[in-house]
Amino acid sequence: MSHEGIRIVSAEQAQREDAEHERLPGDAVTPKKVRVMKTEGTGVEIDWKDGHQSKWNFSWLRNACPCATCHEERQQTGRLPGVPKPKEKTLLVMYEAPVKPLEVTPVGKYALKFKWSDGHESGIYSWEYLRRVCRCDVCLAKVEGQ
Ligand SMILES: [Zn+2]
Ligand SMILES: [Zn+2]
């Protein structure tokens, strides 16, 4: 059996990969309002120009980091954006504090950059990427219902 054969690609991932080829309308990837609840530690909410609303919690966003390293690692393990890595089995049980952003900075007019409490900061979250990984009921239903 080749390595290709054991790579698990879920239907959802395959559809997302397909969806990456079609362009979203400008209003769908232009935020009207961006709320980063850094003090509350909850997550990010975006109101889009086309009237759509999206929100994500911080740990979801950390696990959906779009940088090349994280993206490749997810591809290799067949993990979808936002899904946490499986816990390593060790004898030592360590408490891991939930990952939070220490700093959130806009990148030009097209993206957000997070400096996470675990030290990672190479992901650039473009509006387009965020809109594509929208977790609202409508978008999730679309992914599952196709
Ligand atoms: Zn990353
Ligand atoms: Zn949505």
53 alpha carbon to ligand 2 midpoint, in Å? 6
82 alpha carbon to ligand 2 midpoint, in Å? 15
The domain 3-145 is placed in CATH, from the list 3.55.40.20, 3.40.50.620, 3.30.2020.30, 3.40.50.880, at 3.30.2020.30
Q: What is the pLDDT of residues 4-16, one digit of tens each?
A: 444 555 665 555 5
Q: What is the pLDDT of residues 30-68, one digit of tens each?
A: 999 999 999 999 999 999 999 999 999 999 999 999 999
120 alpha carbon to ligand 1 midpoint, in Å? 7
Q: Rounded to whole angstroms, how far apart are CA atoms 5 and 21? A: 24
Q: Looking at the CA of 45, name the nearest ligand.
A: 2
121 alpha carbon to ligand 1 midpoint, in Å? 7
Residue 3 has pLDDT above 50, yes or no: no
Average pLDDT over all residues of the chain: 87
Task: Write the DSSP string, the chain.
Answer: --HHHH----HHHHHHHHHTTSPPPGGGGSEEEEEE-TTTT-EEEEEETTS-EEEEEHHHHHHT--SHHHHHHHHHHTPPTTPPPPPP--SS----PPP-EEEEEEETTTEEEEEETTS----EEEHHHHHHT--SHHHHHHHHH-
Q: Rounded to whole angstroms, how far apart are CA atoms 76 and 79? A: 8
Task: Write the DSSP string, 33-50.
Answer: EEEE-TTTT-EEEEEETT
Q: State residue 88's pLDDT score.
A: 72
Q: What is the pLDDT of residues 20-33, one digit of tens each?
A: 567 899 999 999 99
85 alpha carbon to ligand 1 midpoint, in Å? 13
123 alpha carbon to ligand 1 midpoint, in Å? 5
Q: Looking at the CA of 72, name the nearest ligand.
A: 1
Q: What is the pLDDT of residues 71-110, one digit of tens each?
A: 999 999 999 999 988 877 777 777 777 899 999 999 999 9
Sign of the four-CA dihedral 18, 52, 134, 119: positive
- Residue with more model confidence, 111 or 143: 111
Q: State residue 144's pLDDT score.
A: 72
Sign of the four-CA dihedral 38, 105, 100, 133: positive
